Structure 1
Amino acid sequence: MTELRIVRSRRKTLALQVLPTGEIVARAPLRLPERDIHAFAEQHAAWLEAAVARARAGSRAAQQAGILSEAELQRLRTAARADLTERVTRLAARMGVDFAGITIRAQRTRWGSCSARGSLSFNCLLMLAPPEVREYVAVHELCHRKQMNHSAAFWREVALWLPDYAAQRAWLREHGPALLGRLPET
């Protein structure tokens, strides 16, 4: 298995993350023994290998497509603000939820997020994805207004509003690393 970088914090759970570069990060509670972290990673070796392969393929695809310039990122931010504001406003009314506002960023690891106060944040790189993928991410974040977790109830809510969400999720899993790899180094 590839080298594992361990990041400790006051969290209560252990999580594995594969960055767009292919680096594996274990996010662990402060006092969890290192042997338990490595054992957890070994239990998930098949998933990690597949995720690293996807990230590396995405990195190669991103290199071929090229790093986005600041002007291109600004155009994506502007387009995302218009598209996602309209999309989220329409969907929120249909779903019977509200939201506090929308922020557009160029994020390295997230497509969207929803704060406890209802602020939604979206990645401008979504504008490089098909419209149905943007629809899925908008529905996903709005469903967090009802369920602030990723429980079975949350996924039932997503499926209620977007029955084919799994296809959009799969598209992001397959093509997302290539999009994220187009961000310039900071």
Structure 2
Amino acid sequence: MKAVGDPSPILHTETNGDIWVFGYGSLMWRPGFDVLERRMARIHGYHRAFCVYSHWHRGTPEKPGLVLGLDRGGSCRGAVYRVAKASARAAVDYLDARERVTDVYHPHWTTARTAEGHVTALTYVPRYRTHIQYAGKLPAAEAADLLAHGVGNSGPGWEYLENTVAHLIEEGIRDTHLLELRDRVRVIRG
């Protein structure tokens, strides 16, 4: 992946001027911006993981929750969205506001492979090693506890996990790690 500048990325455009955005969590079912086209895609070099402490969406600084991030290594199936050139700035501004509340994520460009070919897509990845909210790979019991008990401005962590698993299954994505985590959280919640 190639890094882009802060605070919001310089818009990379395909030859037609449109941009692509890669989603791997809630962006898959709730993009929140105008979309011309949606495709299933895979990126390499990252995998979907609950690797970010949430101080806003699913927790607080005093009682953190966990949210998804693209952690290093492996690959990740998700969705790419084509956004018209005329809507690109509004989409990026929206994504910056949604993904960068505490600045744990930063924008990156990546190559997403789709059935129709490769596209260059914008995504957001955690600030590894440099941000206090980057949790990395937590023990399963600790991750489950944070998801079971974390509640933030977007609701409880367990609900986010349940929604994520359900939507991934609808898309034909079976993430065994998230399924195991969901089962652990269900046991904790009774």
Q: Which TM-score applies when normalising by structure 2? A: 0.27
Higher fraction of helix: 1
Q: Which has the larger radius of gyration?
A: 1
Higher fraction of strand: 2
Q: Which has the higher contact order (CA 8 A, sep 6+)?
A: 2
Q: Which TM-score applies when normalising by structure 1? A: 0.28
